[in-house]
Each structure stands twice: as structure tokens, then as C-alpha cells.
Structure 1
């Protein structure tokens, strides 16, 4: 069985994430290919798309959000993702149990004795008038019936788990600050959420597996679970196995992949890329060693924006005091410094935040 080392896996990930070569794919198609972008920080998806799409203009994502072809919603791992309308409707029912379990597990004591189905029915009744509401407004409509849980807990239960919600624009539009206003997905998208198919083989799980491998493979079953947060996927893997190819990584883990998916040569040059906070190119795996070294794993979950040099997380970056600051995690060679600086200059122009210069190093 072919063994793929970390460098081979790295290049496969970069190719599928459009981080080897920027693509001219339209925004909705790019969001679909990437299986969504993590978006709890509203401006970060713009950076993620800028690093992946040739000539990306923020207005294209704005148009997709206001035109309802992409939507902000709680989905994978109970985090806010920017996904296509079609994926939100097709995937939501498969994620329902996981979303409920994660909220219940986080607030086990606060939600003791609460009937989730009753709360969900009440939430749907409140939102039936098609009026967008903040979480606070939703909770105010329910708290007389459920006065026990803290408002924040009841609100998160309702919005992040029980009633599939869209976070409406102007939340998530380019360089706009706006609070979260919620409306049920089915109302905002004017289409019912797809029912969960019955029968063997977990059809939705199979589609998730194929889509995940197209954007993240080769990958292990544990990587798939880490990305989506779902358990119970072995049936989907079993049903798809005959159509997949199998590799091993350096640790001996079995890796699955689509037969015709790109797997570039490990020596393929990788350009410098600036990633936003919580980018799924890093977070989308259980074993992240293909893209980030073990001493720096904490960066991937702490919200640090990162820089890829030769395909690996090699620096963090931030904007403050009208400067784009880059903090390397290891010494950079002169050519690497030049490439990082050039890409940073282009990013500064894109961000259009009055950035006056780029500072490479830890000094202020």
C-alpha cells in the first residue's frame, strides 16, 4: 500500500484548497467546493477567499450573501459557517442530533429538565411571523415559560441547535459591523430543509464524505469526524469504500481518497499564503501535522491568523497601529522573507484598512 508522507499530504491539501494556485472559480462554487468557510469572525471568510480566488472582490461575497446563494449558519462542529444555500438545506438535518448533543453537553446542568422539543416548537412559533430577531429578542419571547436557564444558554440552545437559523446581512458583509439577527433557514431561503433520507448506508453521510475528500483528502475517518463533528459515519465510509482508493500515512493510519483527485508531487513549489483565523485548511483534520507543527497546534484553535511558507504554518499575522505585523515561528531565509513581504503588501492593499506598512518580526 502506498505511503504518503506529510509533505505529499500537504501538497494534496494545498491543491484542493486552492492554495497552490488561485482559481477563477465564482464565489458560490468556491464556497461549495471548500464545504464552507468557518465564519464566527464575520470578516475572516473574505481573507480566506482572497487567498484562494484570482482577482477576488469583496462585493462578490456580499452579493452572494444578500442574494441568498450563500448563508451564515451553525453547522459543522456547532460553529458558524458560511455555506451555500443548497448545502445548508441538504446537510442541516444530518447535523441536527450533533448540534443538540453539543449544546446539551456544554450546558448539562443549566438545561436539566428542559424538554428540547417543546423549546423548539415554541421557537418555531415565535419566528413564524417571518420577522428577524436577535437572540435576546428570541429569549425574551420564551423566558416566561423557561425562566430557569440563563438567557445566554437558552438563546444558544434555540439558535445554535433547535431551530435551523440563518444569520442575516448586514452581518458578515465586507467591512460592516452588525449584530446577529436570526431568521429560520427555510424562511430566509424560501425552501424547506431537506428531510433526512431513510434507508441503509447514510446517503447524506456519503455525500459529505465525497465532498470532504474532494476538498481535504487524502484523509482518515477521524479527520472527517473532526471536520464535521458527526459520529456514526462508518456506514457512509463502508458504502463508499469500493469507489475510493486507500493509502497509509507515516503513522500507519488508513487514508481514503477519491481516485482522480489531485495529489501533486511532494516537491511542487508552494507559494506564501495568508490564512484567516480558524481556517479549515488547518482545522479540518484530526491529525493536523500535514500543515502545522505540534508545538504550534494551539494557534489553530486560539484564533490566530497564520501564514503558510512552503505550505506550512510558519508565522502569525495581525493588523494594528496601521501596520500589518508578521511574527515568524522560525527564522526565515532571505527569499522567504521577500516572498512573505510581497504577499503581505498585496494583502494590505486588499484589506484597505489604512495600513501604512508591513512589519516582519516581533518588534513594534
Structure 2
């Protein structure tokens, strides 16, 4: 069994995440290829596509949301992702055990809904949402009229767990503001959910993130027992430098580990640094603690030589846009110059109406 170096794994990840070079691809095809985009906050998916696609403009993704070809929905790991409507219909049934488990273990809501008939409450929520999308507060308030002894927030939590709820526009439409409002996925896109197919989910993960261990797949999906599924699939197998078995699709190849990895600015919550149990192929454990806060916020990052080497922040006020680069270590002059140039382009892309734009580089701490 072939052993892959960390550098080889890094280059394979960058290639499949469209980060070795900007590609000419539609936003829809990119969302599908990347197995969805992290979307805990409204706008990180736009930055994810900016980092990967040649000529990407926010209206392209906004149009897909408005036309219901892509949706924002809680999926893997219980977090909101932006995925194609087809993938949402296929994947929500696969990860449903995660949400069923949460209803029994959630410290804030499990006790509140323990005595309820969950299916009956979910049916009531579906009937309400069939009339029109509702905010979390409005949905909980409506359900509390039927179950007045249960906290409205807990009733909304139950509905989110039992039903495939999408967040509807104008939430996450570039340049617009909107509170979170929900609709049922199948009614929103006009198609039924698919039977659970975990093997298909594993294959899609590997196409976007492989080669990877079963533990990596499970960390991304948020569900267990995928090793049994992977064992039944026709997969190529490798080992990593620590001797762990890695799986991959047999038709996919590994790029030359000596291929250059250009400097990149990755957006906040970028999925490349969140989708592995062992993330050291792209970020050291030390730097991970500086990028991901204790409450789960993930900064935009500086990618140099294929590894995270710092973070960036965009600040805008009074028609001025400033991108601040904060490297964790001294970077080669050529790479730092490339990052500064990219930061200038980012400021122009994200804040086109700004009258002044500036890039500031902080000394490593």
C-alpha cells in the first residue's frame, strides 16, 4: 500500500479544492464540485468562490439562491451549508441521525421537548411553514399556541431537527440584510427527499477532499459507522505518514507533490480547514488555535506554500476599505507581495463603492 507524504496530501487537497489555480467554472458547478460551502454566516460562501474561481461576481451566487438552485440548510456536523438543491435533498436524510441524537442530548432543549410527540410537533410546523416562511421566533410562537408549556425556542429547535428547513432569501443575498426565515426544503424546491445513500455521500466527500481517512469523513459529516459503508465500496487505499489508512476514489489521481502552491486568501469559515479530523495537511495545531476561536468563529486565512500562515480581516467604514494581513511568521518577500496584491483585489471586489482602499501588513507575533 502506497504511503503519501503530508506534502502530497496537501497538494491533493489543494487541487480538489480548486486552490492550485483559479478555474473557469460556474458558481453552481463549483458548489457541487466542492461538496457544498460552509455557511454559518451569510457571506463566507461568496469569499470561498472568489478565492477559487476566475471572474466570480456575487450576483451569480445570489441568483442561484433566489432561483432555488442552491439552498442554505443545516447539514453536516449540524452546521449550515450552502449546497445545490439536489445535494440537500440527497444528504439531509443521510445525516438525520445527527439531528435525532441532538433532540435527546441537547442541554438546552432536550428536556423541554422530551415529553412531546416529536412527529406530531413536526407535522404542525410543516403545516405552518406551508403557508409562508417564518422566522425562528414566529415559528416558535405559533407552535407554542398548541404547546404552551414548552419554551417557543425549544419548539423551533425541534422543528429544525425533525424537518429539512432551508433559510430563505433575502438572507445571504450579497448586499442585502435579512433575518433567518425557514421553509421546508422539499416544498421550497418542489422535489422529494431521496432515500439515504451514505456511500454516495462518502464518494462526494472524497472527490472534494480526498484522499482521507474514515475518521476524516466522519468528522466532516458528523455521523459515525461510515467505516462499514466504506469497506463495501470499491476504493483505492493509501497510508499517511503516521500509518493511518486513507481511502480515495479509484479514478482520481494524486498531483505531483512538487507542484507550486500559489499564495491565497481564504475566506472566513473556509471548508478546507474544517473538513478533516486531522487538519495538519493544511494547518498546524498551533495555528489552528489562532484561527478558530473558542466559540467557533473562523477567520479568513493566509495560505502560503499550501499551509495556513496567518489570517486577514476586512474592515470598512465611511467609504474606506482596509484589509489587514496578520502573518504568524516571517514570509518570503515574493509570497507577501502576492498576498498584498490579492488583498488589494479583494478590497475592490468586496467593497466596490469604497473611495479609498488600503492594505496593512502587521508584523508577526
Which TM class, normalised by the smaller chain length? over 0.9
SS at 2:94 equivalent: helix
- Give the Å deviation of 1:193: 1.3
TM-score, normalising length from structure 1? 0.92
The alignment status of 1:114 with 2:116, answered yes or no, reads: yes
Query: Hey, what does 2:146 align to over in structure 1?
Result: 145
Distance across 1 between alignment mates of 2:286 and 2:16: 25
- Give the Å deviation of 1:286: 0.4
Distance across 1 between alignment mates of 2:238 and 2:228: 20
CA contact (8 A) 2:134 2:181 kept: yes
Q: State the Cα deviation string for residues 281-317 of structure 1 (Å, max 9, x = none).
A: 1101000000001112232443211111111111111
Query: Hey, what does 2:165 align to over in structure 1?
Result: 165
- Give the Å deviation of 1:37: 0.3
SS at 1:3 equivalent: coil
Query: Hey, what does 1:357 align to over in structure 2?
Result: 358
Inter-CA distance 276–114: structure 2 relative to 1 (3 Å threshold):
farther
Correspondence list, 1:1-364, <5 A: 1-107=1-107, 108-129=110-131, 131-159=132-160, 161-196=161-196, 204-240=197-233, 243-298=234-289, 299-300=291-292, 301-321=296-316, 322-352=321-351, 354=354, 356-361=357-362
SS at 1:183 equivalent: strand
- Give the Å deviation of 1:331: 1.2
Distance across 1 between alignment mates of 2:251 and 2:21: 18
Q: Structure 2 regions of 5+ residues with no counterpart?
A: none
Distance across 2 between alignment mates of 1:96 and 1:58: 31
CA contact (8 A) 2:47 2:268 kept: no
Distance across 2 between alignment mates of 1:27 and 1:143: 40
Q: State the Cα deviation string for residues 173-230 of structure 1 (Å, max 9, x = none).
A: 112111111111111101111234xxxxxxx111111111111000000000000111
Q: State the Cα deviation string for residues 313-342 of structure 1 (Å, max 9, x = none).
A: 111111125310111111112112111111
SS at 1:51 equivalent: helix
Q: State the Cα deviation string for residues 106-143 of structure 1 (Å, max 9, x = none).
A: 233343333322221221222232x1111111111111
- Give the Å deviation of 1:105: 2.0
Give the ranges of 4+ consecutive aligned residues of structure 1 lying more than 4 Å apart after TM superposition. Answer: none
- Give the Å deviation of 1:149: 4.3
Inter-CA distance 63–149: structure 2 relative to 1 (3 Å threshold):
same
- Give the Å deviation of 1:4: 1.1
CA contact (8 A) 1:78 1:102 kept: no
Distance across 1 between alignment mates of 2:309 and 2:165: 37
Distance across 1 between alignment mates of 2:195 and 2:326: 47
RMSD over aligned CA atoms reads 1.7
